[in-house]
Amino acid sequence: MDEGAVVNIIGGGLSGSECSLQLASRRIKVKLYEMRPIKSTEAHKSGYFAELVCSNSFRSDETTTAVGILKQELRTLGSYLLKVADETRVPAGLSLAVSRDDFAKKVTEEIKSNPYIEIVIREVEKLPQPPVVVATGPLTSETFYKELENIFKFYGLYYYDATSPIISADSIDFNKVFMASRYNKGTPDFINCPLNRAKYLEILNILREAPTFLKHNFDDVRFFEGCLPVEVMAKRGIDTLKFGPWKPVGLTENSEIEAVIQLRKDDLYGKTFNIVGFQTQLLHNYQKKIINLIPGLENAEILRYGSLHKNIYINSPRFLNRKFEIKEKRGFWVSGQITGVEGYVESIASGLATALSVYARLKNIEWDGFPSETMIGALSVYIEKGIGELIFQPSNIQFGLVPPLASRTKKSDKKLRYKERAEESLKKFIEDNPWILNDKITCQNFI
């Protein structure tokens, strides 16, 4: 493949943005296609690159969690979007949460100012000539979806995803809530709305009966298990929410508090908060009714209601290798959530891994992807192989995707050992492949 070729990247989400900036930092010219704001999706609200459509949280930053280790790997590898996330973070205990608008604006500014990236604002209907990276995400347009169907034959692979409401800080009654982070980890950055048993049951009953935008029976609808709508969890049992996202454990020892609903900052200045564990597809009037029943939110001003959107993904183990390249279509890569990686951090990781795969091909460098002992490598292997004969489904990074430890280890020490092994593996891999870091432009810092 011509090393002077322009790489066509379709989609300016997290993965496409990271992939573009990684290639540009290695003096590879990129043509980045994005249809927004000319044509939007059912979930996006702006024309910014890397817009966060669901939560503003990149999840735990603890380095003994799988996603925490993955974030550290991305920082080591020079991820541009992780750097922006760190620069635009808002207080959220030991989690990495960002100011939603500031994050997207900064990524957009850096892409627009990068001399190696040409931006093309239009909907792509047909695949351009290779090299091509498809990073259109789970909200791929209907027209381009039909183009991809010719290659991937989706076979109905999709799930529904929901977003949480966002409310104005000025409308919160701070006399009825308390500030705390679970188990006092980090700083007390979450607003906690306590529910006694009567209030919990009142809200639960409404959740179970309230109508939704999606008219189908729940049995006919697929949701991602890691991000279920609150009304779906309510239907699963009386205790599901209070032992799930609304659990009071680690927040209060008051036995009269049955559950706690948390609010997390959605912007740097704390003017807006999103309701944690409250992804929903309820009709707006029912969302408002329930939110106004929550102590402290009786007069809440709802700036954005929760909503539902359909996410598509491909059967990656059938079509992709661990380098995110289409097995039978050389020069074509697929990256981001459409591959079945679930989550912001995972999407960024796939964008970085894809960029290195493209770069290696252009420069005739032997490249088989990251070692499976690393989190970024384990994610890549999952895309290539899935889990045995089970039907392929999207997955966050988790320890179940990495190879077992070589020696018997106490349960309490396992996470630390996974972390240490991943660090050792990545360090050696970079030493053996110094081009991963050395080929980046050092005289010009784009971010």
What is the model's pLDDT at position 198?
96
Put residue 50 in one of left, alpha, beta given phi > 0 → left and psi -120 to 50 → alpha: left
| 81/349 Cα distance (integer angstroms) | 10
Residue type, 301: E
Q: Residue 54's pLDDT is what?
A: 81
Residue 39: which region, alpha, beta or left (left: phi > 0; alpha: psi -120 to 50)? Answer: beta
What is the DSSP code (8-state) at residue 212? B
**Each residue's pLDDT tens digit, 122-166:** 999 999 999 999 999 888 888 888 888 888 876 657 777 778 899
Which whole number is the average pLDDT over 323-351?
A: 95
CB 105 within 8 A of CB 126: no
Q: Which residue has the tokens 């030991």?
A: 94
Q: Decide if pLDDT at 339 tops 70.
A: yes
> What mean pLDDT is reported for the chain?
90
Q: Does the reported pTM lie above 0.85?
A: no
For 397-404, what is the mean pLDDT? Answer: 90
- Looking at the DSSP bridge assignments, the partners of residue 395 are 341
Four-point Cα dihedral 163, 164, 168, 172, nearest 10: 180
N-term to C-term CA, the chain? 29
> Is the model's pLDDT at 241 over the cut of 50?
yes
Average pLDDT over residues 209-218: 68
What sign does the CA torsion over 204, 209, 215, 220 have?
A: positive
Give the least confident one: 134-143, 244-253, 324-333, 419-428.
134-143
Cα 213 from Cα 81, distance rounded (Å): 33
Q: Is the pLDDT of residue 444 over 80?
A: no
Confidence of residue 443 (pLDDT cuts 50, 70, 90): very low
* Cis, peptide link before residue 434, omega less than 30° from 0: no
**CA distance linking residue 27 with residue 285, whole number of Å:** 52
154: which DSSP letter?
-
Q: Has residue 304 got a pLDDT over 90?
A: no
| pLDDT confidence of residue 258 | 96
Residue 2: pLDDT over 90 = no
403 DSSP 8-state letter: P
Residue type, 447: I
Q: What are the φ and ψ backbone dihedral angles of 273, each rounded to 5 degrees?
A: -135, 145
More confident of the two residues 128 and 223? 128
Give mean pLDDT, residues 417-443: 90
What average pLDDT does this structure show over 23-45?
Answer: 88
Residue that is written with structure tokens 């800080």 in the block: 169
Residues 6+ apart with CB under 8 A from 283: 210, 211, 212, 213
Identify the weakest region by mean pLDDT among 255-264, 311-320, 371-380: 311-320
Distance of CA 235 to the CA centre of its chain: 26
Kindly tell me the number of DSSP H helices and DSSP E strands found in the chain: 13, 16
| Of 136, 126, 103, the residue nearest 32 (C-alpha) | 136
Which SS3 state, helix, strand or coil, does residue 98 take?
Answer: strand
> H/E element holding 132?
strand 132-134
- Is the CB of residue 70 less than 8 Å from the CB of residue 346? yes
Name the H helices within 262-343.
284-291, 316-319
- What pLDDT was estimated at residue 159? 72
- CB–CB of 288/296 below 8 Å? no
SS3 label, residue 394 = coil
Residue 218 pLDDT level (bands cut at 50, 70, 90): very low
pLDDT tens, residue by residue, 411-426 = 788 999 999 999 999 9
Among 90, 82, 87, 83, CA closest to 56: 90
Tens of pLDDT, residue by residue over 164-208, are: 899 999 999 999 999 998 888 878 889 999 999 999 999 999 999
